[in-house]
Amino acid sequence: MRRFGVLAFALLCAVQTLLAANKQAETFNMQKAYEAFQNQDYQTAVDCLNKELADDAKNGYAYLWMAIAYTTVDDYGSMLTNSDKAIQYLPKKDKESRGVAFNLRSSAYSGLGQQDLALADISEAINLDPKDVDYLNSRAQIYFEQFQYDLADADAKKITELEPGNPLGWLCLGRNADARKDYDKAIEHYNYAVKLDNSNAQSYSLRAYTYISQKRWSEATDDVVSAFSIDITDGGALDCVNTLADSASVVLCSKMKIQAKKDPNNSLWPFIIGATYEKRGNMTEALEFFNKSFDIEPSAGAAQRLSAAYSDADNLKMALDFADRAIQMDSTDTDGLYSKAMAYFKARRWEDADRALSIYLDAEPERADAYCYRGFTRDHLGKTNEAADDYDTAITLQPMVISYYFRGRHYWNLGDKDKAIADFKQAVEMDTVPDSASPSIMLLGYLGRTDEAEALIAEIGKDAESMVLYNAACYYAMFGDKQKAVDFLNQSVDKGFLRLTLLENDSDMDSIRSMDGYKKVVERLKSKQLKMEEENAEYTDQTVEVPMTKESGVFKVKCSINGLPLHFVFDTGAANVTISAVEAAFMYKNNYLSDKDFMGSSSFLTASGDIIEGSVVNLRNVNFGGLDMNNVKATVVKTQNAPILLGQSVLSRLGKVEIDYSSYTIRITRKVKTTR
């Protein structure tokens, strides 16, 4: 079992324990801090707690809540300091709160890598409350990370005794068995956990991880589907997908295609298929499924992925278009800027790449790979001094194989072979598991280790993806048999390589450009690109104006949700979509919402038939002004007067949003597909 969200877990346990015990002080500041926590307004909570501590510097409860607040920003130092103070000042008789404090301090120590201190503190928390399964689970995790599986088993078994119906203890036992490579026993424990609670995503993703170890690809993929069907954000399932994409891509794609037919409104399934094809270098298929995913549920992240995929398909226009869409959909996320910069980089538009990477680095000055790529860009622009500075910065921030490789080539081209060889050797030592993105083949060529290079080509090229084959072609063009270079180029195109711009501008290929075989590869790529352009959609700009009215200080827009006529309140600052509990209950009772529309939990109704606050519901269709948004995720809230509240960040899924307050108009300019 991998460890996800240590501090988030500590926060959840602490807040649940204290709220359950109603541990709130009677002072005004403590009451306000308590209310702020309930509203997840942690900055206001910290402000109120600081005021309380200014009045009473020995208030252990204020320190305890302060420690909890700092878990939300992964601030281990402040968390440690405040949990220390809480332990010092909390009443000895209040074992429950002191247990929370020791648990928080244990989590801080664990995050700081001080496992012995973390173990001591979580053991003290257990002494204070021996029946707290969360504390036992935390200690079992520490034992697991220290390879003390017998002790981890002991705590896990205690959990099963205290709460026989809780799958947590069985998951711990399964994790420990997996670590011992006792895979059959691990599966046995996971099977029991699934029987106890078949709505726990982690049970399936952990079992999938063990199935992968047994090379039981079909069962692993089925469990990944089950995990994602319960929790689309499950990190363990995502890890399994990445492994399956490498080891069992055919099985993974086949199963995901079946799931996409069964669940056609879920964007995840075509996205996974697209990512799998992308990893294998088959960009034609990757783009088909990425576009299907984006059509189902447009998002900034999906737009960024499409931008990268179009770059790899040598389609700069579409790559830039989707990068711009990502920026428009979420202007706070700098990944859109990075997508745009990399589109220019892959297209060998050096001046544009230099400018775009500089803009990105102004926003993200500690991104090592961006300095590396800007250095490579500046080498091609003849800015050798600036390039050297960028390589040095990249390596200082985060030593990477690619940075040493690029800097080594920089020195090589300047004639400084000694420095180049030193960087190449360093890169080879670091690159212990070469893959498609690895320059190891070329590195070995520069170092004159041709036998090793060709052995590596044979090893990783048995079922190679397109970029591995392209890199092999580069090696033979530079250091070996030129006919083999052409042969590997053809194999690369067979596997989906489409980057004509890279091929025509790659100096590694200079030695074979006059060969007829090379020229035929170029013609093959041009023909493939022409076919893709004919098959892919064209987009034109369309502007739609949607009227809004102002009532009681808020802007309202008429709409229909799943066919029910309503209106929504437009809030430019809203990051999420919220729907009132009253409206959600009405829609559910009148069949505008169904059980399947409520996500992530099988329990969304109270005994009285009310919708539980915090439930997430999928609005299948929101229509306004003739525009449709499908599969809009909304959170149920009780304190909202409007039926539904949407923000500009949500509407930007449709395109560029402009607000004209003088004419009470929302103007949306969007890309409209005219052909496919």
pLDDT band at 43 (very low <50, low <70, confident <90, very high): confident
On whether both 484 and 589 belong to a single domain, the answer is: no
Residue 8: the pLDDT is 45
Residue 10: the pLDDT is 46
pLDDT in tens, 363-372: 999 999 999 9
pLDDT band at 357 (very low <50, low <70, confident <90, very high): very high
Is the model's pLDDT at 653 over the cut of 80? no
Is the model's pLDDT at 6 over the cut of 50? no
In-domain check, residue 457: yes
In-domain check, residue 61: yes
CATH code for position 131: 1.25.40.10
Residue 435: the pLDDT is 58
Residue predicted with more confidence, 522 or 440: 522
The residue out of 167, 193, 228 marking a domain boundary is 228
Tokens of 623: 């229509």
The residue out of 536, 558, 579 marking a domain boundary is 536
64-68 mean pLDDT: 90
493-511 mean pLDDT: 90
CB neighbours (10 Å) of residue 236?
Answer: 23
**Number of separate domains in the chain:** 3
308-330 mean pLDDT: 91
Q: Which H helix or E strand runs over 185?
A: helix 183-196
Residue 58: the pLDDT is 93
pLDDT in tens, 616-628: 888 989 888 888 8
On whether both 151 and 16 belong to a single domain, the answer is: yes
On whether both 529 and 550 belong to a single domain, the answer is: no
CA distance 328 to 652: 7
Decide if 97 contacts 81 (C-beta within 8 A).
no
Angle (CA) 548 551 552, round 5°: 150
CB-count burial class (<10 Å; 0-12, 13-18, 19+) for 568: buried
pLDDT band at 645 (very low <50, low <70, confident <90, very high): confident
Decide if 321 contacts 539 (C-beta within 8 A).
yes
Decide if 572 contacts 659 (C-beta within 8 A).
yes
Is the model's pLDDT at 91 over the cut of 80? yes
Residue 387: the pLDDT is 97
58-70 mean pLDDT: 90
192-213 mean pLDDT: 95
222-231 mean pLDDT: 92
| Dihedral sign for Cα atoms in the order 603, 605, 611, 613 | negative
182-211 mean pLDDT: 95
Q: Does residue 77 sit in helix, strand or coil?
A: helix
On whether both 487 and 611 belong to a single domain, the answer is: no
Look up the domain containing 165 and give its range. Answer: 6-228
Is the model's pLDDT at 1 over the cut of 50? no
Residue 367: the pLDDT is 95
The residue out of 517, 536, 555 marking a domain boundary is 536
On whether both 518 and 625 belong to a single domain, the answer is: no
CATH code for position 655: 2.40.70.10
143-148 mean pLDDT: 94
Tell me what percent of the residues of the chain surpass a pLDDT of 70.
90
On whether both 170 and 193 belong to a single domain, the answer is: yes
CA distance 188 to 211: 12
Nearest of 230, 228, 236 to residue 207 by alpha carbon: 236
654-672 mean pLDDT: 85
Greatest mean pLDDT among 233-242, 458-467, 547-556 lies in 233-242
Residue type, 79: M
511-531 mean pLDDT: 91
Residue 313: the pLDDT is 87
Decide if 307 contacts 337 (C-beta within 8 A).
no
Quote the mean pLDDT of the chain. Answer: 87
421-444 mean pLDDT: 82
CA distance 670 to 505: 34
Range with the poorest average pLDDT among 124-133, 332-341, 539-548: 539-548
CA distance 282 to 630: 29
Q: How far apart are the first and last CA of the chain?
A: 44
On whether both 82 and 200 belong to a single domain, the answer is: yes
On whether both 514 and 644 belong to a single domain, the answer is: no
Residue 534: the pLDDT is 67
Q: Regarding beta strands 549-551 and 554-561, do their DSSP bridges make them parallel or antiparallel, or are they unpaired?
A: antiparallel
Is the model's pLDDT at 640 over the cut of 80? no
Residue 575: the pLDDT is 64
